[in-house]
Amino acid sequence: MRRRVSIFGATGSVGANTVSLLLEQGGADTYDVVALTGAGNVALLAEQARALEARTAVTADPARLDELEAALLGSGIAAAAGPEALVAAAAEPVDWAMSAIVGAAGLAPGLRLAEQGIVLALANKESLVCAGDLLRRTCATHGTRLIPVDSEHSAIFQALQGERTAEVDRIILTASGGPFRDWTREAMREVTPAQARAHPNWDMGERISIDSAAMFNKALEVIEAQALFDVNPERIEVLVHPQSIVHSMVGFRDGSILAQLGPSDMRVAIGYALNWPDRRDLPVERLDFARLARLDFGPADPERFPALRLARRVIEMGGLAGAVFNAAKETALDAFLAGRIGFLDMAELVEHVLEDLGPDAAAIGPGYDLEAVLTRDAAARRAGETWVEELIGK
Ligand code: NDP
């Protein structure tokens, strides 16, 4: 059966890997590609749309519409631009979609996709962190099946196949520890964006790479795991595993532990989500255990990486505290990338905004809508910006 597919965030690291797997699996001969989206990288978007014979290409940036139209000239592929066009593209009927926009910008299109009653491959963890209840509710109402794409959550999802959540004793989220795994806080103080971007194992987008270095990515993943698998947060453990071969584990009440292992290559998790419930040949390295020889594990340190502690605080608060946390984190990351604040300031900013706005956001009951999420998101960004200005002004 030919499947209709769309990729949101096609020009990013996850998106481009998804495009390459679609091409690997027959491209336009196998799939009807409905929409591909990007933001700044219009040339790549047009190239991908031509390669997959997509129906529509959408850039999030309205100022780039002319450029996109020019790049698509003569192809018969429609061009569109702007956040509304992204949501409109998410309403175009498909059977499968990849949600791989980075940040809270992925929330509105992701929710619209979830209303289609489809298989939704979810890389955009921020939408679960900001609005886990809303996304899950939308999926349940419309019969959408969420397949996690984060390698850790894909591992847990795979380990849970045929198992009952009630029999889960604990979830062990592995973490590479990033480039500063063994650094003291003093040494981390002077870290530059270029150093933070250089992840030891994974080739990812800039933002998630820096999030990983500060363990904010792992913090998002703890919240994501709680939202996806509905386990008691006390049963979610973070374990440092520098080689990134064991992607995560699930422990059961009888003491058994199931783990999923594989190369540090996102095409494994993306391919699993693309072909689910089947498995197909993927062009990835096969693990050679004799050559690997050893796998190391160690405890995570919330003292050196306060993001881990803040994740627990967000879960404890509940409600829309996750939307505040994520928006503060995105604001902190922008300020760090712009050289306005230091590496360690990011966690301080987030903690300040979370403690300031979190309790009020946490008080919102279930049944909230997208507007409520966006209101908290905007307030947290403003508060984060004020914190940065005050710090610079000191
Ligand atoms: P990238 O930064 O590489 O790509 C992000 C994508 O989103 C690009 O297509 C980009 O367009 C687009 N984009 C950026 N800003 C906006 C916006 N305001 N509105 C709409 N689209 C926008 O990110 P990654 O691929 O690394 O990550 C994507 C998501 O997947 C994130 O949520 C991340 O946490 C998650 N993830 C990523 C992993 C990885 O290996 N990279 C692993 C696990 C999860 P353009 O490039 O054209 O500007």
User: Bridge-partner residues for 257, per DSSP?
Assistant: 251
Rounded to the nearest whole angstrom, what is the distance from the C-alpha of residue 36 to the centroid of ligand 1? 13
pLDDT digits (tens, 9 = 90+) for 120-140: 999 999 999 999 999 999 999
Q: Which pLDDT band holds residue 366 (cuts at 50, 70, 90)?
A: confident
Atom of ligand 1 lying closest to residue 45 CA: 47
Q: Decide whether any atom of ligand 1 lies within 6 Å of the 176 Cβ.
A: no
* 260: Cβ contacts below 8 Å, ≥ 6 apart: 154, 155, 156, 158, 159, 246, 247, 248, 249
Instruction: Output the average pLDDT for the chain.
Output: 97
Q: Decide whether any atom of ligand 1 lies within 6 Å of the 48 Cβ.
A: no
Q: Decide whether any atom of ligand 1 lies within 6 Å of the 126 Cβ.
A: yes
Q: Which pLDDT band holds residue 170 (cuts at 50, 70, 90)?
A: very high
The pLDDT of residue 221: 98
Instruction: Write out the two tokens for 369.
Output: 């809508």
Across residues 43-66, what is the average pLDDT?
A: 98
Q: Decide whether any atom of ligand 1 lies within 6 Å of the 114 Cβ.
A: no
pLDDT digits (tens, 9 = 90+) for 191-202: 999 999 998 888
Rounded to the nearest whole angstrom, what is the distance from the C-alpha of residue 10 to the centroid of ligand 1? 8
pLDDT digits (tens, 9 = 90+) for 329-349: 999 999 999 999 999 999 999
Contact indicator for 142, 116 with CB cutoff of 8 Å: yes
pLDDT digits (tens, 9 = 90+) for 196-236: 999 888 889 999 999 999 999 999 999 999 999 989 999 99
Rounded to the nearest whole angstrom, what is the distance from the C-alpha of residue 106 to the centroid of ligand 1? 9
d(CA 244, CA 292): 12
Beta strands 298-299 and 236-240, pairing class: antiparallel
Task: Give the type of residue at 43.
Answer: A
Q: What is the pTM (predicted TM-score) of this model? A: 0.97
Atom of ligand 1 lying closest to residue 109 CA: 20
Ligand 1 pocket test, candidate residues 65, 102, 206, most atoms within 8 A of CB:
102
Rounded to the nearest whole angstrom, what is the distance from the C-alpha of residue 306 to the centroid of ligand 1? 24
Atom of ligand 1 lying closest to residue 123 CA: 30
In the chain, the DSSP E strands lie at 3-8, 31-38, 56-59, 78-81, 96-99, 119-122, 145-148, 168-175, 236-240, 246-252, 257-261, 298-299
Residue minimizing CA distance to atom 30 of ligand 1: 123
Contact indicator for 339, 287 with CB cutoff of 8 Å: no
Q: Decide whether any atom of ligand 1 lies within 6 Å of the 125 Cβ.
A: yes
Tell whether the model's pLDDT for residue 365 goes beyond 90.
no
Across residues 69-93, what is the average pLDDT?
A: 98
Q: Decide whether any atom of ligand 1 lies within 6 Å of the 39 Cβ.
A: yes
* 95: Cβ contacts below 8 Å, ≥ 6 apart: 3, 4, 5, 118, 119
Distances (CA, A) of 59 to 38, 39, 165, 207: 5, 5, 40, 19
Atom of ligand 1 lying closest to residue 8 CA: 9
Rounded to the nearest whole angstrom, what is the distance from the C-alpha of residue 373 to the centroid of ligand 1? 20
Q: What is the DSSP string of 146-163?
A: EEE-SHHHHHHHHHTTT-
Q: Which pLDDT band holds residue 77 (cuts at 50, 70, 90)?
A: very high
Tell whether the model's pLDDT for residue 319 goes beyond 90.
yes
The pLDDT of residue 202: 87
